[in-house]
Chain A
């Protein structure tokens, strides 16, 4: 498996334009040309191929890159003035995955920053004084969960958060991103994730939520942002993860969903695209790659032969793409070699890499003792299926396949918000891990 070490030349795995050139095929072939160049030194086409074992995730450089954003962003960052919790999450989550221990002074600042961003009417906006927004609420809750101290958890006003979530909940099961804002499937995920972590999920919050997401599944099998709109990996992950938190993944057409998801892996590049006939992008390593752990759980539940599953995608290929094409020499990760690095891509390339290295699977046998939100605690790594491409030190920390924060941070947060029931479950999960 993998894309660097295949029988044929790279080119033969490339896109076949059937002799009919269109804008889409031109762009695709251009991209392949660029990827081929960076892949070349590792392939058998090279006179002296570099070993794949030499592929190195330059962790320290990436740490330095993201740390740089925490203290001073230049004025052009005003474009993200309504996304401060996102910046915090992308950076802190990247640090977590890279195994960098977040120092106390950073934790204190994160807590204070989020405190000043929280809206008096509940939820978190993009910055102090801004209206609450589901995406920034998601990011803020995750940020505080990453900090993982009692002070951090206590920042969140759970009552007003619940009010905010209900204020954007629509009768048809969808959520607007903000009061007066747009509806799309991201809202469902952001709301469910924040509510699950903080233990404020109610039947009122979830009424019709699964049905709305199901209406977003298209004829292609993936999920679009809104019923009728094109299937897109970002919305597909959000819809799927929301359904998982709702316990309703059975509502999807499993066959077309599986087919669409596995069709998103690019034959030559190894990375994922977000939509049919569009280009590879490192961030889809998470949005598309992140589908597979949950999909694996669905296939297992449907009794569809777990042995054949080591995820229905080429893990090596994805990792090779990320390591060779997405790392910048000066730190940070990116969409593809022709694009600049940014914090968003750094976060999601690393998240996708982590999920590919560690096979996160669901402990079905403990389902009955972990109802509702608590089922999030039943994800653990299947060590036998660990697969780290390149140097062994490339291994990242494990991330939760639904919530996308480090698994130990999930446990800590759940212990805080769910108390004894979380404790009991964690104990059971650990016993199961030792047993298997």
Chain B
């Protein structure tokens, strides 16, 4: 009946028994908000549900109403999580609603976290054995895998794969609107790690390559790539290091003034226990490329390299060479950071020179 649907829920007969609890701000509070009548009454009823700890369908419906009015109201989200559990609700339906919510509010901590909690529960429901022993939502946050994927029976493996893949698809869609959405990337890492060392890690490396291909300056994609190569099955092997070094170098050649591949390159070398001096030839080579020779990153990396050499060789000449880079950076190519480069220069001056 149309008239009844237009009626706010609190005017409907099924809510008549509830005594709403008004908000108690005290007298003359700071930052009072001029709530709409709809919102303040809805909250009065929510408070009543909370007070009574009522775990019913109507309470569940109410949480949705509150959330849609005020999506960052974390108290209500938690209450909803408890209700979903107690009432044993269909979590797949919840995920559909969340998809819509995330599109409306892509930067909401609560919505992404709620999704994580729900997916964590779905996972627990089809996996017979977990390596964690608690069922509280907070364990869903750990990068510790909840499962050993390889040990799962085939049917559960398939279910896990399906769930992971659909989540990765969902996140990828969200990232299309904002390729650097911090919440989306955090959640993506959780999805990858939570279900153990499954086959999705292979696809993820390609995904980062795709995003880097679209925007070589997308630092979130580069960070994700690092996450993948260091966390996927087998970890970062020697072969992996070489492959990643080549990959980063090729991107640097495209955009020598782009910070992302540079810091990725030195990060991978460090992780693989390779000295930065290994890329000396590459960096010096860039000096003769007109586009590249004023890139602050070429000179910054050369400074790092010459500093290592100066510490090894301990000759005045090698220290001078490093100092020249620091001066070049401070005075010409990266003057905003002159204080930092001058500080690096003073560190060089501390090197104990023997020749």
Chain A residues with CB under 8 Å of chain B are 1, 3, 6, 13, 15-20, 22-25, 69-75, 77-84, 87-88, 91, 106, 109-110, 112-113, 115-116, 125-131, 133, 170, 172, 174, 176-184, 218-221, 224-232, 258-260, 262-263, 265-267, 270, 275-278, 304-305, 307-314, 317
Contacts and interface: CB of A to CB of B under 8 A. Distances in A.
A334 to B, nearest CB: 18
B13 interface: no
A308 B342 contact: yes
14 contacts: A75-B34, A75-B35, A78-B33, A79-B70, A112-B27, A128-B24, A133-B74, A180-B136, A218-B267, A228-B189, A308-B342, A308-B346, A313-B339, A314-B339
Given A79-B70, A230-B219, A312 B295 contact: no
Given A180-B138, A219-B226, A313 B26 contact: no
A265 B33 contact: no
Main secondary structure of the interface of B (DSSP, over half): helix
Q: Most A CB atoms within 10 A — which of B26, B78, B214, B216?
A: B26
Contacts of B24: 116, 128-129
Interface stretch (B2-10, B93-101, B330-338): B330-338
Contact of B219 (A80, A259, A275, A311): A275
B186 interface: yes
A170 B141 CA distance: 10
A100 to B, nearest CB: 15
A192 B156 CA distance: 42
For the complex of A and B, the 8 pairs showing the least CB-CB separation, nearest first, are: A219-B267, A24-B217, A262-B340, A276-B219, A16-B257, A230-B223, A116-B26, A22-B215
Contacts of B30: 70, 84, 87-88, 106, 109-110, 113
Contact of B268 (A1, A110, A116, A219): A219
Contacts of A304: 343, 347
Given A79-B72, A181-B113, A277-B218, 18 more contacts: A3-B336, A69-B31, A77-B33, A82-B70, A110-B30, A113-B29, A130-B74, A174-B141, A180-B138, A181-B74, A182-B113, A182-B141, A228-B143, A228-B231, A229-B223, A276-B219, A313-B337, A314-B339
Nearest to B27: A112
Interface string B129-147: 0000000111001110000
B271 A78 contact: no
A25 B217 contact: yes
Q: Most B CB atoms within 10 A — which of A78, A87, A184?
A: A78
B58 interface: no
A312 B226 contact: no
A95 B143 CA distance: 42
Interface stretch (B161-169, B177-185, B199-207, B317-325): B177-185
Interface in B18-43: 21, 23-36, 39
Contact of B31 (A88, A125, A259): A88
Given A18-B256, A112-B29, A265-B337, A82 B215 contact: no
